[in-house]
Amino acid sequence: MFSQDLLAWHDRNARDLPWRGERDPYRIWISEIMLQQTTTQTVKGYYERFLAAFPTVEALADAPEQAVLKLWEGLGYYSRARNMHRAAKRVARELGGRLPDTAEGLRALPGVGEYTAGAVASMAYGRRELAMDGNLVRVLARLTAESGCVGEAAVKRRLRAAGAALIDADRPGDFNQAMMGLGRLVCLPGRPKCEACPVAAHCAAHARGLAGQLPVMPPKAAKRTERRGVALVFRGGRVLVRRRPAGGLLGGLWEFPNFPDATDEASLAECLEELGVSVGAGRRAGAASHVFTHLVWKMEGWIFAANALPEAEDLRAVDAAGLAALPMPTAMRCFRGAAERELAGRPASP
């Protein structure tokens, strides 16, 4: 039987992870949100630090958003953290501090989609729900020899129905984790290790010699490249930073003022004038690139001295300690280092 063979393999091969065997819905939810789009190795340290700071859903709900974003710094996809914070407030204040115990109830929370709802419902509450991540899609497409593109709605429905028929009634959470583990360790993209697969006897693609050709993936969209100038503006041991708008890319995080297409000294100075900042001659502070899901930033940094630095709700001048305390995106890491060196009296070099 498929589920028996799969779970027997899982019991022998499951990795020792901080959340493995966890039954607390809150802790499972935190781990699953973090694991979206992020490697297990990266998440382990963040998971433990995050729960040390916010051990309960009430603690997370009561925390300032900036504190949540600071602990999330470096994990990327920051909308996950903002949605998680919003969801915690709803759970703490409207649901008596207990996460919903059904997939339907979980999906009503901000930032909780089909995958996360299935994962939490199955692992925390023993619900017979499928947690359809990319690994499960790949495994199910091969098990069923699905020839359609997995990006199509009808194909997704077929795969979900196939998975729902297989899920173990007694150990649904372990089943989902076993399927994820199988996709991560054995049923790999491109070159599956069929000879090591514990469920190869159940796999239609393997039987037909098609495993390496499946699943059929949708074409990848080309990433748009955007050139930006980044301004490190100093005065009196402080550097100018601004907070991005709450919605959209990197919402709520702090950054150094940066502007599309203003990658030279004169263009950046003009953009800063529009912020009410007058600067003298600049010098280069290096270059960096950052790749988002749909976008690539190509950045040129410049260092300026200003006659005065403005203060506003989303625009402020901070010293070295203030800079270290702010949540900033990984995209700014190179320029943050340059600013730290400058504030420490060790001028940054290109």
Contact indicator for 187, 140 with CB cutoff of 8 Å: no
Backbone φ/ψ region at 269: left (φ over 0), alpha (ψ -120 to 50), beta = alpha
Q: How, if at all, do strands 254-255 and 258-260 pair? A: unpaired
Contact indicator for 61, 93 with CB cutoff of 8 Å: yes
- Catalytic residue of the set 32, 146, 265, 300: 32
Q: What are 185's two structure tokens?
A: 């360790």
Q: How, if at all, do strands 315-318 and 295-305 pair? A: unpaired
Start-to-end CA distance of the chain, whole Å, equals: 62
Q: What are 252's two structure tokens?
A: 């709520």
Chain CA centroid to CA 240, Å: 27
Q: Is 104 a catalytic residue?
A: no
Q: What are 148's two structure tokens?
A: 């359609």
Residue 98's CB is within 10 A of a number of other CB atoms, namely: 11
Task: Kindly list the catalytic residues.
Answer: 32
